[in-house]
Amino acid sequence: MTPLTTVTAEAGGPPPAGRIRVMLVGDDPGVVQAVAEAAREQFEVVHAVNGLEALERLDRYEPDVIVADAEMPALSGADTIRAIRKDARFAGVPVVSLVASHDAKSSGPASLSEGLDIVLVKPVTAANLLRAFQDITARAKIQPSPKQYSVDEIRHYYRKFGPVARAEDSGVMPTLTEQLLAAAAEPRIRVLVVDDDPGVVAATRAALERDYETIGVVDPETVPDKLIAYQPDILLVDTVMPRLGGVQISQLMRVNRRLRGARIVFLTPQEGGPAIPAGADVLCKPFTEEQVQRKVLEITRRPGFSRTRKRVAYAEVRRREGETPDRY
């Protein structure tokens, strides 16, 4: 089934002005229909089929309320909300979390303690969702606010152009000369190293930084946002990390068309750890500087490997990461 990009109260008609905007995150057709019915009279709805797409579209969507399905592949509803709340602009957006009945007792109180304002047990009805929307907007005292884009403009954009860069990546349109110079320049290969051990990240970057653009991440919960913003060509990722391990992160990348082409190397312990996909590239820890250099070089020389043109220049990446010019 082709997922809906947006849902509006009146199909084909212009979106009414001054409505509160609800962002639905999930691909369950029953939930999509229930949200559409609930929002018919009072709200407008935008849709992301998974957590990574929600993070990618957050700036353009500018939601007043978020409805998140708890059960989504790779990045769960709760993990999606945690990532969204790391952005100060959306930290206070109220959330309706949809959980399965067998998870309601265990996940409900925990979700509420993490900032999820209302928990509803699936299957949900339009009437229950409408009451939740009315309750949550009243308690949060939400008023319709001016948006950069209307729902109709968002729908038109994604139908015509496909995925969009985050607003923080957009800026002044470059001149024709700048565009020609950028097109002529061969982009460098960008490597993202993810490990909750700062020593592993530092040593791996030190081994690669002469020949590649390197970015280090020690908090796995920040990875989804940085994957979208920084567009790595190669990801070196630890398989054993709290909350979001390497295999889960690789699954996230495979459901996002922008990131599917990136090559992944799993950093694994000598014994134990989660099952790795068959045929995957692996480095067993501890590995040497020469081993990681050889592995990355081997990947770059394989048929079909390509580097992507980046929306965010490496100098800007380092600035965002708080790195001084003499580091890496």
Share of the chain above pLDDT 90, in %: 32
29-38 and 126-139 helices, crossing angle to 10°: 60
Q: CA-CA distance, 109 to 119, in Å (whole number)? A: 9
Distance (Å, whole) CA 209 – CA 199: 15
Domain pair 6-161 / 174-320, same fold: yes
pLDDT digit string (tens) for 33-68? 889 888 888 899 999 988 888 888 888 899 999 999
How many beta carbons lie within 10 A of that of residue 232, not counting itself?
A: 26
**Contact status, residue 231 vs residue 311, Cβ threshold 8 Å:** yes
Q: Domain ranges for the chain, please list them.
A: 6-161, 174-320
| Whole-number Cα distances in Å, 179 to 173, 174, 175, 185 | 9, 6, 6, 10
Closest to 93 (Cα-Cα) out of 123, 129, 118: 118
pLDDT number for residue 160: 61
Residue type at position 151: V
Give the residue-averaged pLDDT of 129-135. 91
CA 89/CA 7 separation, integer angstroms: 24
pLDDT number for residue 166: 37
Q: Which helix (H) or strand (E) covers residue 215, if one does?
A: strand 213-217
The Cα–Cα gap between 258 and 227 comes to 10
Cα of first residue to Cα of last residue in the chain, in angstroms, is 46
pLDDT for residue 286: 92
Q: How confident is the model at residue 312 (pLDDT cuts 50, 70, 90)?
A: confident
0.85 exceeded by the pTM? no
What is the overall mean pLDDT for the chain? 80
When mean pLDDT is compared across 178-187, 197-206, 314-323, the lowest value belongs to 178-187
State the average pLDDT over residues 300-317: 88
What values do phi and psi take at 47, rounded to 5?
Answer: -130, 135
Side-chain-side CA neighbours of residue 201 (13 Å): 16
Per-residue tokens: 64: 């007043």
Q: Is the pLDDT of residue 4 over 50?
A: no
3-class DSSP assignment, residue 95: strand
CATH number assigned to the domain covering 6-161: 3.40.50.2300
Higher pLDDT, 285 or 258: 285
Note the pLDDT tens digit of each residue in 149-183: 888 888 877 776 554 333 333 334 445 554 454 44
Over residues 101-106, the mean pLDDT reads 62
What pLDDT, on a 0 to 100 scale, did the predictor assign at position 113? 38
Q: Quick one: DSSP state of residue 182?
A: H
> Can you give the pLDDT at residue 301?
92
Question: Which CATH code for domain 174-320?
Answer: 3.40.50.2300
- For range 90-113, the mean pLDDT: 69
249-279, pLDDT tens digit by residue?
888 887 777 788 899 999 999 888 888 888 8
- pLDDT confidence bin for 326, thresholds 50/70/90: low
